[in-house]
Chains A and B, each alone.
Chain A
Amino acid sequence: MKLDTYRISSHGSLETLTVATQTADPRSTEFRAVEGGAETMSGEALLVWAYALVWIILFAFVLVSWRRQARIDARVAELERAVSRGHGK
């Protein structure tokens, strides 16, 4: 990106003045590994992510178990009633 602006020169003519010149990097054509690497993430963010994901995984486990148990209990109760009715006939 090239940004231009204009000013009046000391002798009265209009001059073009380039204030900033920004050009996009060329498209990456390769990814190169680096040993160690510069730090790009804060420890605080990583810590929050770690603890949040732990709780999400645990709650998902509990939720799935709870729902499965409730579905099975309901089906068992229904079947027990049906079986006892069937035996009564």
Chain B
Amino acid sequence: MSSSRKTSDLVFYLVFLATVVTFVIDINQIFFHTPIEASMGIVQKIFYFHVPSAYGMYIGAGACFLGSAAYLMSPTDARDAFAKAGAETAVAFGIIVLVTGPLWAAKAWGRYWTWDPRLTTSMLSVLIYVAYVVLRSFAGDGHAEKKFAAALGVVGAANLPIIHYSVKKWSGQHPVVIGSGGGGLAKEMYPALFLSLAAFTLLAIVMLWTRTRVEIARARLRQLEEEALVAIPEGTT
């Protein structure tokens, strides 16, 4: 193993360890040091994983956009791998958002789902990245398929600002606690939120890193298989 690979592995394990430690501290903070919300009760604690998951989805989608744009400008396996890893990360976090949101809503609104603008645009975004992952899984690994997927990765990112501004531009039920128009959190709730954001950022980095490495390894495998076809007489492998 090369020294750069060893250094890369060491950094990866350190980031992974930092992620685990941050999650342990975060969960302790959420459940033992953060007060229960006055009107919703304990179910409000879903917020500390729901919001950072949405943030993690943005990180994944952003990575998919960057990797895709870079691939369209100058195609390399690493750029394609980064874009694919971003889409998969966006799907994983998007599913968490779509699972935790309705569980909170069941208590807060008395129903799991409404066609609120933010909910609808969030689901649409997850479906775009699911489409990307499905396309990459079933359409093959040719250059044309990769280019098509990269275009989807670029165009799919257009929905992200719509999710963000949907609560401002259209009326809906989704809460706006933080930012303009929001009443803010109680100050005792901020440490849990910031820790969760840190934990999910680290987790998103770990997931992106892991998946990018897997995809680079797959590209290397394909290259070796092509070499093997030329170099090795049939029937010797």
Contacts and interface: CB of A to CB of B under 8 A. Distances in A.
Nearest to B227: A83
Contacts of B95: 57
Contact of A79 (B46, B111, B203, B225): B225
A27 interface: no
* Count class of interface residues, chain B: 35 or more
B84 to A, nearest CB: 12
A50 B237 contact: no
Contacts of B207: 61, 65
A86 interface: yes
A85 B43 contact: no
Nearest to B230: A86
A51 to B, nearest CB: 7
Nearest to B41: A43
A37 interface: yes
A65 B214 contact: yes
Given A46-B104, A50-B49, A83 B224 contact: yes
A86 B231 contact: yes
B214 A58 contact: no
A82 B237 contact: yes
Chain B at the A interface: SS class: helix
Contacts of B217: 69, 72-73, 76
Contact of A43 (B42, B49, B220): B42
Interface residues of A, number: 33
Contacts of A58: 92, 96, 203
Given A69-B210, A86-B232, A43 B107 contact: yes
A43 B214 CA distance: 39
B40 A86 contact: no
B100 interface: yes
Nearest to B99: A53
A47 interface: yes
Contacts of B104: 46, 50
Interface string A48-61: 01110110011001
A78 B109 CA distance: 56
A43 B228 contact: no
B111 A46 contact: no
Given A58-B92, A72-B221, A79-B225, A50 B231 contact: no
Interface of A: 36-39, 41, 43-44, 46-47, 49-51, 53-54, 57-58, 61-62, 65, 68-69, 72-73, 75-76, 78-80, 82-83, 85-87
Given A58-B96, A69-B213, A83-B228, 14 more contacts: A37-B111, A43-B43, A43-B107, A47-B43, A47-B103, A53-B99, A53-B103, A54-B96, A72-B217, A75-B221, A76-B217, A76-B221, A76-B224, A79-B237
